[in-house]
Amino acid sequence: MNTNSEQVNAQKTPEQTSKASLNENIEVKSPPGDTASHKSDESEDYNPFEHRNIAKPTSNFGATAHILKTSLGSGILAMPMAYKNAGLVFGAVATVVLGVICTHCIKMLVRTSHIVCKKKKIPLLNFPETAEGAFDIGPKRFRKYAKAVSILVTVELLLSFILGNSVYVVFMSQSLSQVVEYAFRVEMNVRYYMLMLWIPLIFMCLLKTLKSLVPFSIIANILIVISFSITLYYIFRDINLPNSVNMIASIDRMPLFLATVIFAIEGIGTILPIENEMKNPERFVGGKCSVIDTAMTIVVLFYGVIGFFGYLEYGEETRGSITLNLPIDEPMAQAVKVLIALVIFFTYALQFYVPINIIWNLIKPKVKERYHFWGDLSVRIGLVTLTILIGMAVPNLEPIISLVGAICFSTLGLLIPAVVDTIVRWPVLGVARWRLIKNIFILLLSLLALFSGTYTSVFDIMYHEHED
C-alpha cells in the first residue's frame, strides 16, 4: 500500500492538494545522528503557520464546534452503558482520568506535527505524514520504520472512520425504527432503515470542505444541547436510589468500559484536519484557554453527567444508547430520538472527511483528469455503501461500539501519539526521563484496551448473533 504524502493527503482541501506534493519535502533527511532536539538555526526560524495557504480558513469558534461535533456524537449516548460495565463510582473517576489522558495525547500529536513541520520546513502535515516524519527526524535506528508507521496509521484511520460511521448507521436506524414503529404501528427489520439512509447520506457526503460543514456542525451542536436537556429531564424525573446500581462492576466488564469511553472521547483522526485549516492554528493547543482545552473540558463534563445519571436512572436496563431507554409513548422522548438521529446524520459527513480524502488521493494519480469528478463521486458512494453493509452485518449497537474503540481508537488515540512524542523528542526526555515513563504508561494502557476490549467485544457480538 502506497502512503506517499501526495496520495495520503487526507487533511488538506482539494485546493491545497493540487498545489504541491509534501512527499518531496518529507524525503529530505536530517544529518546522521541529528534529532528533533538539535534543530538548525534555519529550522528554528521557520514558522509553518506563516506558510499555510488555506482557501477557506476556520475560526477558533468553528474549530471548537467541529471538535465538539466529532466528540458529542453517538459515543456520549453510550456513556451510561459504559458506566454499567464499570460501576457508578469507578466509572465517574475513570472517565475524568481518561478524558485528561486523551486530551494530553491530542496535544502530543499536534505538537509533534508542529515539530516535524518546523524541522522539515513544511507548512502542514496530516496524521500519517506526522507519524512518518517523526520517525524520519528521530534517532537514526528508528528511521527505517518511518514508512511502516505511516502505513499503519493510514490503515487504522480508514478502519476507525469506516467502522465508526457504521456505528452511526446502526444508531440512526435503531432510533428511527422506534419512532416509526410506534407512530405507524409498522414493524420492520432495522436493516431496512439502514437502506433508507443510503441516498441521504450520499448527498450529505458530497460536501468537500470543512468550511462548508461548519453550519451543519453548529446546527448539530444546538440540536444535541436540546436533546441532552430533554434526556436529562427524563433521567432526573424519576431518579433511582444509589443502591439500585453497582458502585464497582465485575472486572471482566471493565474492558468494555475502557473501549467504550475511548471510542466516545477520541476524535483524534479529525484533529489535524481541523487544526490544519484554522485561521489561527497557534491557538489550537497554545494559550491559557486553547481550542482543544475548551472543547475537551465541555466534552468530558457532558460525558460524566450523561454517563453517571443515565446509569443511575436505568441501572441494569441501560441500553447501547441512553435515548433508546426513553419512553417511546411520550412526544418529547420521540422528538429526542429524531433530533439525535439528525445530529448523527450531520456528524457522519464530518467523520468521512478523512477517509474519503485518503482513498481518493490514493486512487487519483491512476485516474485520468477528465474522470476525476466521477472518480471522487464513486469513492464517496462506495464508502457510504460499505458502512451501511457493515451496519447490516452487525446491527447490535453495544458490542460494535466497544470493538471500534478497542481496535482503532486505542491505537490512534493513545499508542501512536505516545510513540511519536517519544521518538521526536529523543533523547531529551525530561528529568529522570519522566516523559518516557509517562509515555510507556499510556502505551500499556492502549495495549490493555486493545487486547482485552477486542476479546470481550467479539465475544459479545458472537453471543448476540447466537441469540438472534
- 321-347 pLDDT per residue, tens: 888 888 888 889 889 889 988 888 888
Spatial contact of 284 and 109, defined as CB atoms under 8 Å apart: no
Question: In 146-269, which residue ranges form alpha helices assigned H by DSSP?
Answer: 146-184, 190-196, 198-204, 210-237, 254-265
Burial class (CB in 10 A: 0-12, 13-18, 19+), 26: buried
Q: Mean pLDDT across the chain, nearest whole number?
A: 82
Spatial contact of 126 and 273, defined as CB atoms under 8 Å apart: yes
Neighbouring residues of 370: CB distance < 8 A, sequence distance ≥ 6: none
Asked whether residue 23 is assigned to any structural domain, the reply reads no
% of the chain surpassing 70 pLDDT:
87
Domain limits for position 269: 56-467
Give the count of domains, the chain. Answer: 1
Tell me, what's the pLDDT at 464? Answer: 61
Which residue from 295, 351, 272, 274 is spatially nearest to 103, judged by alpha carbons? 295
CATH of the domain at 413: 1.20.1740.10
**Lowest-pLDDT range of 91-95, 214-218, 372-376:** 214-218
d(CA 283, CA 114): 13
Asked whether residue 13 is assigned to any structural domain, the reply reads no
Q: Residue 465 — pLDDT band, cuts 50, 70, 90?
A: low
Neighbouring residues of 50: CB distance < 8 A, sequence distance ≥ 6: none
Average confidence (pLDDT) over 380-399 = 87
- 262-307 pLDDT per residue, tens: 888 877 878 888 998 898 888 899 877 899 999 999 999 988 988 9
**Is 74 a residue whose pLDDT tops 90?**
no
CB neighbours (10 Å) of residue 345?
Answer: 17
- 272-281 pLDDT per residue, tens: 889 988 988 8
Q: Ramachandran region of residue 120, left (φ > 0), alpha (ψ -120 to 50) or beta?
A: alpha
Secondary structure (3-state) at 95: helix
d(CA 115, CA 127): 13
More confident call, 52 vs 242: 52
d(CA 114, CA 130): 9
Which residue from 359, 249, 313, 292 is spatially nearest to 103, judged by alpha carbons? 292
Q: Residue 43 — pLDDT band, cuts 50, 70, 90?
A: low
Name residue, grid cell 444508531.
171
Asked whether residue 304 is assigned to any structural domain, the reply reads yes
Tell me, what's the pLDDT at 1? Answer: 42
Asked whether residue 173 is assigned to any structural domain, the reply reads yes
Average confidence (pLDDT) over 181-195 = 88
